[in-house]
Structure 1
Amino acid sequence: MTRVLETVLWIQGIYFLVTGIWPLVSYSSFEAITGRKTDVWLVKTLGALLAVTGAALLNAVVATAPVTITVFITGIGTAMVLLMIDLVYVVKSVISKIYLVDACIQFLLVMLWCISIF
């Protein structure tokens, strides 16, 4: 496993785990930063899914087996989807502009995944 691949797995794994757990453990602080939401259950569902994805990526970096194409697709695919959702819904004024910070992080993750394959 290359150093870049290890780095992207650590960064994305920890970021997804932490940001995924955040609305589950302190919904009020999550809303204070990201803005009021109407569907609490949906925010918590996405948070749980991101936490699971983060845990899976962290498992991939500590496992002794080589990183599979499934891990690659999960990592880059999730980052690409979140990047697009952030951009589209900030532009439509559906979500807070704070999500542009997340969009920048997701863009960085996509770029790191692209670098890791070369």
Structure 2
Amino acid sequence: MEAVEELKLEQDPLASGLGVAQGVFYLASGVWPIVHLRSFEAVTGPKPEGWLVKTVGALIAVVGGTLLAAGLRRRVTPELMLLAAGSAASLAAVDVVYSPQRISPVYLLDALAEGVLVTAWCVAAARAWKHRDVQPPAPRYTSPEDAAGFPT
């Protein structure tokens, strides 16, 4: 018997759908500055370090591709759900903290989208937790002889 309980996310259409939706969103928004930095900057404002924008875009695209593949295969694991929600929360925090001071206000729209994703992943996690498989407890021994495997 395995000690860790497995959350049944792979059967939940919400988790799979979220994986696909966030995957497409992240893949597109991550590849965009790599493919055409000029149009990306036209929408989001000028960037002093183009290589850094492309690096972050590549990382976001990798997360997006992974989420998309997992969602399409209906194999969204708890670890992928944590990656998805954590990525969205991290990007939202950067958007909110730096948008008023240093970056374009358009990032507040991204923060809103990321907040929706975090909320949706929390709902998916709650549903998975509610429908998890609970294993019966391990047998309890009544005497030292039972624990040692001696016949009673």
TM-score range normalised by the length of the shorter chain: over 0.9
Determine the structure 2 residue equivalent to 1:48.
58
Determine the structure 1 residue equivalent to 2:118.
110
Determine the structure 2 residue equivalent to 1:76.
85
TM-score by length of 1: 0.93
- Check whether the contact 2:16–2:76 (CA below 8 A) recurs between aligned residues: no
Select between 16-25 and 67-76 the one with higher mean Cα deviation: 67-76
Structure 2 alignment gaps of length 5 or more: 1-10, 128-152
Distance 1:55 1:30 in 2: 20
Deviations 1:45-93 (A, max 9, x none): 00001111000001111225x42221011100000000000000013x1
Distance 1:35 1:61 in 2: 32
Match of 2:21 among 4, 8, 11: 11
Q: How many aligned positions are there?
A: 116
Identity %: 40
User: 1:114 Cα deviation (Å)?
Assistant: 0.7
Distance 2:49 2:16 in 1: 35
Q: State the 4+ residue runs in structure 1 displaced beyond 3 angstroms.
A: none
Structure 1 alignment gaps of length 5 or more: none
Question: Does the alignment pair 1:101 with 2:117?
Answer: no
Deviations 1:2-31 (A, max 9, x none): 121122111100000000000011110000
Q: Which has the larger radius of gyration?
A: 2
Distance 2:90 2:67 in 1: 16
What SS does structure 2 have at the residue aligned with 1:19? Answer: helix
What SS does structure 2 have at the residue aligned with 1:37? Answer: coil
What SS does structure 2 have at the residue aligned with 1:13? Answer: helix
